[in-house]
Amino acid sequence: MNAPQSLKIVRQAAPLRQQVVDGLRAAIISGRLAPGQRLTEPELTQMMDVSRTVIREALRQLETEGLIELIPNKGPVVRELSIDEAQDLYNIRAVLEGHATRLFVENADQALVKKLDEALQVVVAAYKEENSDKVLETKNQFYDVLYEGAGSGTLSEMLASLHARVWRWRALGLSHPNRSASRSKESMKNLRAILAAIKKADASTAERITREEAHKAAEEVMRLLAS
């Protein structure tokens, strides 16, 4: 396995297992760990300077997220990007996020609306910096507030699992060198429109635009995967 040496973990306050999961996930999303590449426990243990138990637990988590798969007689490998799977996941995302937005309008109080507004301003700042990692992080925070305001624990759990699986494609859509310049502007326009509809308590419009944004994101990812 020709994995990057930069995978070594810098000890932080976060649980070690989560640091390893985050490090491997970032390496997969960025392409430092390439599709089809084998991930052997001994080599990862040495490179990340952690125990094999921690590596094994992290690999199980990444398998759950759909980032790696276990191949008989080969072991864990980075999963190939599948256009069909990406399209399917984005379609489901559109429905669930649209429903979450509708529930936000119906259930959230003004404090959460203000929190969502503040989260959007952070996304805007990240876009201005043209930092794809920060854009992805801040958009996740925006949607986290949206899910919180929806008031459905079950829906939040479903969306968290879904986002873990689409993370790789979302990162591709934000960081690919052939990303459409107009797509960023379109995404910001849609997020602002979602917030505006929420402030007007227009659940139908907010749900519709949320679904449209997910479908537009899917179209961009499909285009990049096919290029």
Range of the domain at 35: 5-78
Q: Both 16 and 68 in a single domain?
A: yes
What integer best gives the mean pLDDT of the chain?
A: 89
Q: Are 27 and 7 in contact (CB under 8 A)?
A: yes
Q: Both 93 and 203 in a single domain?
A: yes
CA 123 → CA 20, 127, 141, 154, 220, distances in Å? 26, 6, 9, 26, 19
Q: Both 195 and 147 in a single domain?
A: yes
When divided into structural domains, the chain yields a total of 2
Q: What is the per-residue pLDDT across 157-202, written as a single tens digit (0 to 9) for each? A: 999 888 877 877 777 777 777 777 788 899 999 999 999 999 999 9
CATH number at residue 162: 1.20.120.530
Q: Both 33 and 103 in a single domain?
A: no
| Structural domain ending residue among the three candidates 78, 110, 131 | 78
**Residues in CB range of 182: below 8 A, 6 or more apart:** none
Q: What is the per-residue pLDDT across 59-90, written as a single tens digit (0 to 9) for each? A: 999 998 888 999 998 999 998 877 888 899 99
CA 120 → CA 127, 129, 132, 161, 179, distances in Å? 11, 14, 15, 23, 22
Q: Both 131 and 169 in a single domain?
A: yes
- pTM of the complete model beyond 0.85: no
Q: Both 111 and 74 in a single domain?
A: no
Closest listed residue to residue 21, CA positions, set 30, 32, 9: 9
| Structural domain ending residue among the three candidates 78, 106, 133 | 78
Of the pLDDT bands very low, low, confident and very high (cuts 50, 70, 90), residue 204 is: very high
| Structural domain ending residue among the three candidates 44, 59, 78 | 78
